[in-house]
Amino acid sequence: MKKIKTITCIGAGYVGGPTMAVIASKCPEIKVNVVDINEKRIAQWNDADVNNIPIYEPGLAEIVAETRDKNLFFSTEVDQAIDEAEMIFISVNTPTKTYGIGKGKAADLKYIELCARQIARVAKDDKIVVEKSTLPVRTAEALTSILHNTGNGVKYHILSNPEFLAEGTAIQDLLKPDRILIGGDSDTQEAREAMQALVDVYAHWLTDEQILTTNVWSSELSKLTANAFLAQRISSINAMSELCEKTEADVDEVAKAIGMDSRIGPKFLKASVGFGGSCFQKDILNLVYISQSLGLQEVADYWEQVIIMNDHQKRRFAQHIVKTLYNTVSGKKISLLGWAFKKDTNDTRESAAIYVSDYLLSEHAKIVVYDPKVSSEQVYADLEYLGTHDPAFIREQVKVVSSPTEACFQAHAVAIMTEWNEFNTYNWKEIYQHMMKPAFLFDGRNILNRYEMKEIGFEVYAIGKGPSIQIA
């Protein structure tokens, strides 16, 4: 059976970059090419100082330092890398469509299709093509159709190998995954060999029991299902957080109590200002769209509610800030600590901070943002992308600073948007002293000890805490 000597990954993003770095590190005899059309991104991946690679992910820079230019290569030479590889991973972005049929729900597959056409144009010998991006169920069918209709006699085997890594823990997730899922065709000997070739790559560091093989459609749908279930847990606990705020219940205590039931389990029950990230919303909207397209309206409505709840959670957090600050934040300084959608990443896609800011901007607040890993340009780009406010107005109202002390200086309120560990290490007494009084603290992640904060003098609001702790 053919052993893979060269792998190419199209797309050097949050999925492609870390996944290929780990494959290169665990498979020293395989040459791994990571290609992207974005020249700036590739230049950053090749920066002599590995701390400047475009993605912040704990442990990633070390692995890149160890493998880069040995068996891991980053380049913009897409055609050459396609030609060279026996196995090609497609790891390009599949954003929610912003136009045409399925606007706002369906996944936009134009980047995937462009990749398939490019592979079809360039390939001279047989290739195994692996879908790594999250895709709607039956995308492999479209890929197969494009690849097999080129008429140049090249044979393709399409596999689905969805990625389950979470940002911030990507390297650990790749090194010790709960499972690897490979979907493929088992009809012919050749197809089984293609699937085995990918199993053999992962077998460099994982056992057979950790590698699950299914048919392509189950694999594609499992990825959407996993993300829908995870997001549903967060929306469920967030729904309970609102109920807790009206009663004497504490959402963290409720989460602990239910999480000890082994049928429920303790993970993904942390109430928050709302989930973000590139996957949850996109995948659920996609699931809703697919269900609607198949005439399954009840299924679509069921999953859409997860998104509706999440939007509600973000909005009600922002509304609560306005209501608490005597129904007006116009001209008031609101300090947002954290902009990334979760800790330990510089990724801001769909971050709750963006939506909360957008709402506060509509109320004419002065916003000051501090995040340990996010650049000011990213903050402005995120707000401008929404299109709600004029770019000039955004730059006038929003300031991005490089220290928490500066962010909170003379602020009317501080809101914790991301659960960065460092927020717990600050001298909150000093921060309090330099704030406007009464000094309001809105903890959107429940990471600070609210009793200590109250003792310092803050007026504290924490997600899902009973009325005795909340600001009247």
Binding test (CB under 6 A) with ligand ADP, winner from 24, 78, 119, 199: 78
The distance of closest approach from Cβ of residue 260 to ligand UDX in the complex, given in angstroms and rounded to an integer, is: 16
Verify binding: residue 131, ligand UDX, rule CB under 6 A. Answer: no
268 contact, one of ligand UDX, ligand ADP, none, CB 5-8 Å limit per kind: ligand UDX
Asked if residues 184 and 157 have their Cβ atoms less than 8 Å apart, the reply is yes
The residue among 347, 462, 381 whose CA lies nearest residue 56 is 347
- Tell me the sheet residues that pair with 128: 87, 157
Question: If we measure between CA atoms, which residue out of 284, 331, 337 comes closest to residue 306?
Answer: 284
Tokens of 49: 């100082």
Q: Is 373 annotated as a binding residue?
A: no
**In angstroms, rounded to a whole number, what is the distance separating the alpha carbons of residues 426 and 405?**
9
The residue (of 7 and 165) whose beta carbon lies closer to ligand UDX is 165
Distance, CA of 435 to CA of 454 (rounded, Å): 14
Run of H or E residues at 398: strand 398-400
Residue 163 CB, shortest distance to ligand ADP, in Å, is 8
| Helix pair angle (60-67, 16-26), 10° resolution | 50
Quote the distance between the C-alpha of residue 44 and its chain's center.
20
Catalytic annotation on 408?
no
In the bound complex, what is the minimum distance in angstroms from residue 255's beta carbon to ligand UDX?
8
Least spacing, CB of residue 177 vs ligand UDX, in Å: 10
331-350 residues in contact with ligand UDX (CB under 6 A) are 341-342
Which residues, 194 to 253, sit near ligand UDX by CB under 6 A? 227, 230, 234
Which of 17, 276, 404, 444 forms a contact with ligand UDX (CB under 6 A)?
A: 276
CB of 233 to ligand UDX, least distance (A): 7
Query: How far apart (Å, rounded) are the C-alpha atoms in residues 214 and 462?
Result: 44
166 or 401: whose CB is closer to ligand ADP?
166
Which residues from 143-202 bind ligand UDX, rule CB under 6 A?
163-167
Check the annotation: does 168 bind a ligand. Answer: no
Q: How far is CA 445 from CA 49, 101, 270, 272, 418, in A?
A: 33, 37, 8, 5, 7
Which stretch in 207-215, 268-276, 363-371, 409-417 sits in contact with ligand UDX by CB under 6 A?
268-276
Residues in a beta bridge with 369: 336, 400
Using CB under 6 A as the binding rule, the residues of this chain from 271 to 290 that contact ligand ADP are 278
Q: Facing residues of 213 across strands?
A: 182
Which residue's CB is nearer to ligand UDX, number 232 or number 272? 272
> Is the torsion defined by CA of 315, 320, 326, 331 positive or negative?
negative
Question: 447, 423 in Cβ contact below 8 A?
Answer: yes
Catalytic residue among 9, 115, 279, 408: 279
Nearest approach in angstroms of CB 469 to ligand ADP is: 37
Give the span between the Cα atoms of 213 and 218, in whole angstroms: 10
- Residue ranges with strand state E in 137-178: 156-160
Under the binding rule (CB under 6 A), the answer on residue 378 touching ligand ADP is no
Draw the binding track, 6-45, toward ligand ADP (x: CB under 6 A; -: no contact). Answer: ----xxxxxxx------------------xxxx--x----
Binding residues for NAD(+) are 11-16, 36, 41, 92-96, 133-134, 167, 279-282, 349
Binding residues are 11-16, 36, 41, 92-96, 133-134, 163-167, 223-227, 263, 270-276, 279-282, 341-342, 349, 445
Active-site positions read: 279
Residues of this chain that bind ligand ADP (CB under 6 A): 10-16, 35-38, 41, 78, 91-93, 111, 114-115, 133, 278
